C-alpha cells in the first residue's frame, strides 16, 4: 500500500511540474506577437519582405496556438485574444525589430520553440 501511495505521489508531482502556464503579461505579449505575425502575412502591397519571413510568421502563429492549447488555455479565450491583436496590427508595415523580438520571445517561452516553428514551416503549402 505504501508503494502505491508513493507511485501516485510521484505521478502527481511529475505532472504538475510539467504543467506550464503563461502569466497574464506573457499571454498578452504572445497575443501581440501573433497579431504582428498575422500582419506580416497580410502585408499591404508595396512592402518589401522575404518570402521565408511570411512562412516563419505563419508557422509561429500555429505553434503559439498549439502551445496555448497544450498548457490548458481555452481555445475560445485564445482565439478572442488573437482576434483583438490581429485587429490592432492588421495593415501595419513590416517591423523587423518587433518581429525578431517576437521570435526570441517564442523561442524562450515555448519548449523547443525554434524547432517546432521550423517543423511547422516545412509543412506549409
Give the other-Cβ count within 10 Å of 31's Cβ: 22
Rg of the Cα trace of the chain?
18
Mean pLDDT across the stretch 3-10?
Answer: 46
* Residue 1 in this model has a pLDDT that exceeds 70: no
Q: What one-character-per-residue DSSP string does 46-85 give?
A: T----HHHHHHHHHHHHHHHHHHHHTT--HHHHHHHHHHH
State pLDDT tens for residues 34-84: 999 999 888 866 666 677 788 899 999 999 999 999 999 999 999 999 999
pLDDT at 93: 85
What CA–CA distance (Å, rounded) separates 56 from 63?
A: 10
User: Nearest Cα to 47, choosing from 91, 97, 101, 99?
Assistant: 91
Measured N-to-C along each axis, helices 24-41 and 96-109 cross at an angle, to the nearest 10 degrees, of: 130
Contact 27, 81 (CB under 8 A): yes
Spatial separation of the C-alpha atoms in residues 59 and 122, rounded to whole Å: 9
Amino acid at each position: 500500500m505504501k508503494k502505491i501511495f508513493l507511485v501516485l505521489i510521484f505521478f502527481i508531482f511529475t505532472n504538475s511540474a510539467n504543467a506550464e502556464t503563461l502569466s497574464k503579461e506573457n499571454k498578452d505579449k504572445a497575443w501581440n506577437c501573433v497579431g504582428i505575425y498575422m500582419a506580416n502575412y497580410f502585408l499591404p502591397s508595396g512592402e518589401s519582405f522575404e518570402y521565408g519571413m511570411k512562412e516563419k510568421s505563419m508557422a509561429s502563429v500555429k505553434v503559439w496556438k498549439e502551445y496555448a492549447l497544450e498548457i490548458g488555455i481555452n481555445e475560445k479565450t485564445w482565439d478572442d485574444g488573437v482576434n483583438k491583436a490581429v485587429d490592432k496590427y492588421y495593415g501595419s508595415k513590416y517591423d523587423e525589430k518587433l518581429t525578431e523580438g517576437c521570435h526570441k520571445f517564442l523561442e524562450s517561452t515555448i519548449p523547443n520553440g525554434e524547432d517546432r516553428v521550423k517543423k511547422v514551416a516545412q509543412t506549409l503549402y
